Amino acid sequence: MLAIVCPGQGSQTPGLLTPWLETEGARELLASLSAAAGTDLEQHGTVSDQQTITDTAVAQPLIVACGILSATALGLDGLTPETTVLAGHSVGEITAAALAGVLTPEQAMALVRVRAAGMAEAAGLTPTGMAAVVGGDQEEVLAAIEAAGLTPANVNGAGQIVAAGSREALQALAAEPPARARVIPLKVAGAFHTEHMRPAVDALTAHVADLTPADPRLPLLSNRDGQTVSTGAEALSRIVDQVTRPVRWDLCMQALADRGVTGVLELLPGGTLTGLAKRGLRGTAVLAVKGPEDLDAARAFMAEHTA
């Protein structure tokens, strides 16, 4: 059983698309996705600096485009519901929805355009951010996050919880971290998946009301609770809700374990979710797509775990 997982914001790095421009059809696909997203994804993926691609309005479309581009290069058409499951972390859930056929790639980019703009605007209202709390006892970490006036925005499993809220509160948590834990600031522009993002919900709700989604052609997990999403309408509803709800990637990993997943393939920009899987799904094979040079190995990995 194969799991294809799509990373979220913070996984992007400058120049990550440069080597992909030489792959067949990449420039044309990026042009189409750029038109739908209203931003130059080729430029942001090749020459834009770290500060530019950390901007929420740029980062989210770039990450979704990376996932779609790498999936297109791999070719997912032959995958079946009996052998493959999809999941995405945070904005990666939009990538996963596109790969499941809920949305076309262009619809996914238009959706992430609205999401990113709304969340960027919400993030600009108050100085907020996020930090990964790594290690420690989970209950003690959750208690420390709450005591600091923060929200556990991502419960990622494998000893990692992401706290979100005001920058002052994050600094206070870092100054006095929970026992046996480290607090690591993340390269994001706001307190995502908290009530700080509430102003972004209305525009996103209005946008999805005009869409006619298809039902998923492959099992699609929700990062709200790790449950399988059965209809396209439910997938869109959950994508809207997740703007202010915590991401429970720990429950997604538990769902993958319960399904008997033997291999976890992370699409571009790969590395973060396979890192969590190494610790949270011990014994499960993992492979992260980082560059075109990984495509042959990824195809072989897909064949092995869907046989």
Q: Which residues have a catalytic role annotated?
A: 90, 193
Please state, in angstroms and rounded to a whole number, the distance separating the CA atoms of residues 96 and 93: 5
Buried (b) or exposed (e) across 87-120, using 16+ Cβ within 10 A? bbbbbbbbbbbbbbbbbebebbbbbbbbbbbbbb
Compute CA 160 distance to the chain's CA centroid, rounded to the nearest angstrom.
16
80 by Cβ neighbours in 10 Å (0-12 / 13-18 / 19+) ranks as exposed
* Strand-pair category, 84-88 with 2-6: parallel
Listed residue (303, 284, 199) closest to 244, CA to CA = 199
Q: CB–CB of 129/187 below 8 Å?
A: no
Residue 51, CB half-sphere, CA atoms under 13 Å: how many?
Answer: 0
Residue 37, CB half-sphere, CA atoms under 13 Å: how many?
Answer: 27
